[in-house]
C-alpha cells in the first residue's frame, strides 16, 4: 500500500470515529487546583455546522474552568472490547465558546430529549468546540498529529432538508428504522427515532442509546439519502455502530 492510500484510509478512520461518537472525555484547566487537568465524561452531538456541541451546567467545574481558560481537549474512544490500547482514539485540542443558537439547541434536544428541562429549569449552557489540532492513535504504536483542515468532517444538511428527511423516516418509514436496527441489539420495547442526518450517514436514537448508520460514500441531496437508507435496510449486515 502506498503512502497516499495509507493516509487516505487514516483520514477516513478519523472521520468515522468522529461521526460515530456521542460522548468523550472533556479535559479542562482546573481553576481550583492550578496546573492540574480536570477530566469528565460528557455527551455531545454535532451542531448545525458540524462542530461538537456540549450542554454543561453553569455550576459544573468544567464551566468555571472554561470561563477562566477556554483551551481544552476532548478525547473520543472507539467502541470495542479487549485490549483498550488496540482501540482507536482521537484527541481534539480545542477552543470552547458559548453559543446561543436555537437551531443547534433543537438539534441537541433531539439527541438528548431529557436535557431540554436542564436548559430551561437548571440554567445549563451550550458550548461549541473549535478544533485546533487532532491527535489520532490508531492502535498500539500508531499515532500522529493531523491538521483539522485535512479531514472533511460531516456537516448536517440544511435545517429544512434535515427536518424533511427525519419526518419522512419517523412518520412514514419507522418499520425501515426497526429493520435497520434488528441485527444490532435493539431493545425490544424501545422505539427507534431518526434524530440527525448528514451526507455521511444517519443518527438514530433507541431509548437512551444512539446508533450510527454510516455510508460508504457521501450523498449531497435528501432524495439520494433516503434511497440509500432504504437500500441498506435490505442488507443482512448494515454498517451500524
Which domain range does residue 34 map to?
3-150
pLDDT value at residue 81 = 75
* Integer Cα distance of 113 and 194 in angstroms: 13
Angle at 40 between CA 34 and CA 42, to 5 degrees: 135
> Binning pLDDT at 50, 70 and 90, where does residue 182 land?
confident
pLDDT in tens, 119-147: 888 889 999 999 999 999 987 667 899 99
Better pLDDT: 231 or 189? 231
Task: Check residues 233 and 210 and name the one with the higher pLDDT.
Answer: 210
Report how far residue 182's alpha carbon sits from residue 220's, in angstroms, rounded to the nearest whole number. 27
Whichever domain contains 209, its CATH number is 3.20.180.10
Radius of gyration of the chain (CA): 18
Q: What pLDDT sits at residue 186?
A: 56
Examine the fold and report which residue of 104, 126, 150 is the final residue of a domain before the chain moves on.
Answer: 150
| 233 vs 179: CA distance, rounded Å | 6
Q: Indicate if 56 and 165 belong to the same structural domain.
A: no
Residue 114 forms part of a structural domain: yes
| The predicted structure's pLDDT at residue 188 | 54
Q: What is the pLDDT of residue 153?
A: 80
- Tens of pLDDT, residues 21-64: 999 999 999 999 999 999 999 999 999 989 999 999 999 999 99
Which domain CATH number covers 118? 2.30.110.10
Residue 241 falls within a domain, yes or no? no
Pairwise pLDDT comparison (183 vs 8), residue with the higher score = 8
Residue 204 CB coordination number (10 Å): 23
Q: Where are the alpha helices (DSSP H) in 69-221?
A: 102-111, 116-121, 159-167, 174-181
Q: In this structure, are 134 and 178 located in the same domain?
A: no
Residue 1 pLDDT exceeds 50: no
- 136 shares a domain with 95: yes
Among residues 150, 174, 192, which one ends one of the domains? 150
The yes-or-no verdict on residue 179 having pLDDT over 60 is: yes
213 contacts 240 by C-beta, under 8 angstroms = yes
Residues 13 and 118 in one domain: yes
Which residues pair with residue 97 across a beta bridge? 128
Count of domains forming the chain = 2
| One domain, residues 46 and 104 | yes
12: which 3 cell numbers? 477516513
Spatial CA neighbour of 121 closest among 41, 55, 23, 196: 55
> Would the pLDDT of 236 be above 60?
yes
Residues 58 and 136 placed together within one structural domain of the fold: yes
167 with 211, same domain: the answer is: yes
Task: Report the chain's mean pLDDT, rounded to a whole number.
Answer: 89
Instruction: Give 90's pLDDT tier (boundaries 50, 70, 90).
Output: very high
In 69-220, which residue ranges form alpha helices assigned H by DSSP? 102-111, 116-121, 159-167, 174-181
Residue 238 lies in a domain: no
On whether both 22 and 121 belong to a single domain, the answer is yes
Structural domain ending residue among the three candidates 96, 127, 150: 150
Q: What is the pLDDT of residue 122?
A: 87
Amino acid at each position: 500500500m502506498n503512502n497516499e492510500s495509507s493516509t487516505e484510509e487514516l483520514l477516513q478512520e478519523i472521520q468515522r470515529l468522529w461521526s460515530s461518537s456521542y460522548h468523550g472525555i472533556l479535559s479542562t484547566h482546573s481553576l481550583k487546583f492550578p496546573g492540574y487537568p480536570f477530566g469528565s465524561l460528557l455527551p455531545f452531538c454535532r451542531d448545525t455546522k458540524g462542530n461538537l456541541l456540549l450542554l454543561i451546567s453553569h455550576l459544573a467545574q468544567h464551566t468555571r474552568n472554561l470561563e477562566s481558560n477556554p483551551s481544552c481537549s476532548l478525547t473520543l474512544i472507539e467502541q470495542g472490547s479487549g485490549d483498550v490500547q488496540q482501540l482507536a482514539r482521537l484527541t481534539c485540542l480545542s477552543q470552547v465558546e458559548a453559543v446561543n443558537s436555537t437551531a443547534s439547541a433543537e438539534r441537541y434536544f433531539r439527541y438528548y430529549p431529557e436535557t431540554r428541562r436542564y436548559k430551561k429549569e437548571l440554567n445549563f449552557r451550550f458550548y461549541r468546540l473549535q478544533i485546533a489540532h487532532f491527535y489520532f492513535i490508531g492502535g498500539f504504536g500508531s499515532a500522529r498529529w493531523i491538521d483539522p483542515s485535512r479531514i472533511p468532517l460531516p456537516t448536517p444538511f440544511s435545517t429544512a432538508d434535515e427536518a424533511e428527511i427525519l419526518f419522512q423516516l419517523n412518520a412514514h418509514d419507522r418499520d425501515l428504522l426497526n429493520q435497520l436496527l434488528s441485527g444490532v441489539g435493539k431493545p425490544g420495547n424501545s422505539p427507534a427515532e431518526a434524530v440527525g442526518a448528514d451526507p455521511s450517514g444517519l443518527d438514530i436514537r433507541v431509548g437512551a442509546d444512539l446508533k450510527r448508520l454510516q455510508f460508504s460514500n457521501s450523498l449531497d441531496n435528501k432524495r439520494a439519502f433516503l434511497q440509500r437508507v432504504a437500500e441498506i435496510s435490505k442488507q443482512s449486515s448494515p454498517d451500524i455502530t
